[in-house]
C-alpha cells in the first residue's frame, strides 16, 4: 500500500482519513516513510512543509530542484475566491509566466471545484472533475449510472442528491453548464428515461439504450459507454 496521507483532502472522491494508520492497525503492518522526492523544486518542497507542520523533512533529488519561481500563499474570503483565481490566471498569462495548459487548480472540496470551474468557464476552456486518466467503470458516466440504479430501487432524498452530485460531475467532465432550471429538467428526464428501460434486454442492447439516453440528455457522444459496448462485441466475436 503506497500513497500520501494528505490526499485525504479528496474525501469528496472517496479518500479515507487516516487510511495508513488504519491499515497499519488492521494488518499489524509497519509504516515506512519515503523521504526523497524526485520531481519538485526546492521552493515547492519548502512551501509544502510550511503548509503542513508535521510534514516529513524531504531530501530533494529532483533534476528541477534549482529552478526558481514564485510561490504565493494567499488567504482569501470565501465569496471572492473565484475572482481572485480568475485574476491570478489572467496575470500569469499576460505576464508570459504560464500558458493556460500549464495551470492546475486544486481544491479541498467538490463544492469548491464545482463553483470555481463554473466561474472560469465564462472565460476559459476548463477540464473539469474526473479529468485524470481513467477507464471504463471508473468514469463519471458509470458513477451516474450506479446512482440512478440505486435510486430506482431505493428512492430517497439522499439518493436523489447523489444523482445530482454525479450529474454535476459528469457535466463538468464534459464541459457542459446547465442553468438550475435546465438541471432540474434534465435530471427528471434522466430518471424517467431510466425507469422506462427494458430490464430484460441483453447487456449490449441495454448499454446502447443507456448511451442513447446520455447522448440525448447531455447532447454529446458518450465514448465511455461506447468503449464498453465495443469491448463486449469484440469479446463476443473472438468466441465465435
Give pLDDT tens digits along the chain (240 positions). Answer: 777 777 666 665 566 677 788 788 888 888 888 889 888 888 888 877 777 767 778 888 988 888 877 777 777 766 678 888 888 899 988 988 788 877 888 776 666 776 787 788 778 776 544 333 334 455 788 888 888 888 887 888 888 999 999 998 888 888 888 888 898 999 999 999 988 887 666 667 888 888 899 989 988 887 777 877 776 676 545 443
> Which distant-in-sequence residues (6+ apart) come within 8 Å of 18 by Cβ?
5, 8
Asked whether residue 221 falls in the same domain as residue 165, the answer is yes
Asked whether residue 104 falls in the same domain as residue 157, the answer is no
Asked whether residue 111 falls in the same domain as residue 188, the answer is no
Asked whether residue 150 falls in the same domain as residue 220, the answer is yes
Asked whether residue 192 falls in the same domain as residue 230, the answer is yes
Number of domains making up the chain: 3
The Cα 63–Cα 26 span in angstroms is 38
Asked whether residue 107 falls in the same domain as residue 16, the answer is no
Asked whether residue 101 falls in the same domain as residue 144, the answer is no
Burial class (CB in 10 A: 0-12, 13-18, 19+), 49: middle
Contact at 8 Å (CB) between 120 and 85?
A: yes
Of the candidates 197, 193, 203, 167, which has an alpha carbon nearest to the alpha carbon of residue 182?
167
Contact at 8 Å (CB) between 136 and 224?
A: yes
pTM attached to this predicted model: 0.42
Per the structure, the complete domain to which residue 106 belongs is given by 78-120
Of the candidates 206, 203, 208, 210, which has an alpha carbon nearest to the alpha carbon of residue 235?
203
Give pLDDT, residue 237.
Answer: 53
The Cα 195–Cα 240 span in angstroms is 34
Residue 111 lies in a domain: yes
Residue 130 lies in a domain: no
Asked whether residue 97 falls in the same domain as residue 140, the answer is no
The Cα 219–Cα 216 span in angstroms is 5
Amino acid at each position: 500500500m503506497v500513497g500520501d496521507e494528505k490526499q485525504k483532502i479528496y474525501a469528496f472522491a472517496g479518500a479515507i482519513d487516516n487510511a495508513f494508520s488504519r491499515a497499519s492497525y488492521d494488518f499489524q503492518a509497519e509504516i515506512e516513510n519515503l523521504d526523497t522526492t524526485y520531481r519538485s523544486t526546492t521552493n515547492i518542497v519548502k512551501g509544502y512543509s510550511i503548509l503542513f507542520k508535521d510534514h516529513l523533512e524531504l531530501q530533494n533529488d529532483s533534476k528541477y530542484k534549482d529552478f526558481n519561481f514564485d510561490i504565493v500563499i494567499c488567504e482569501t474570503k470565501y465569496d471572492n475566491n473565484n475572482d481572485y483565481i480568475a485574476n491570478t490566471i489572467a496575470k500569469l498569462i499576460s505576464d508570459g509566466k504560464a500558458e493556460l495548459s500549464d495551470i492546475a487548480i486544486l481544491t479541498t472540496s467538490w463544492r469548491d471545484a464545482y463553483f470555481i470551474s463554473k466561474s472560469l468557464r465564462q472565460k476559459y476552456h476548463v477540464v473539469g472533475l474526473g479529468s485524470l486518466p481513467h477507464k471504463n467503470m471508473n468514469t463519471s458516466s458509470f458513477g451516474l449510472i450506479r446512482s440512478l440504479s440505486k435510486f430506482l430501487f431505493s428512492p430517497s432524498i439522499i439518493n436523489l442528491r447523489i444523482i445530482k452530485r454525479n450529474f454535476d460531475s459528469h457535466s463538468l467532465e464534459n464541459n457542459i453548464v446547465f442553468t438550475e432550471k435546465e438541471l432540474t429538467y434534465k435530471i427528471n428526464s434522466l430518471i424517467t428515461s431510466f425507469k422506462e428501460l427494458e430490464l430484460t434486454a441483453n447487456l449490449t442492447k441495454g448499454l446502447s439504450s443507456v448511451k442513447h439516453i446520455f447522448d440525448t440528455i447531455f447532447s454529446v457522444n458518450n465514448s465511455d459507454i461506447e468503449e464498453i459496448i465495443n469491448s463486449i462485441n469484440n469479446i463476443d466475436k473472438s468466441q465465435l
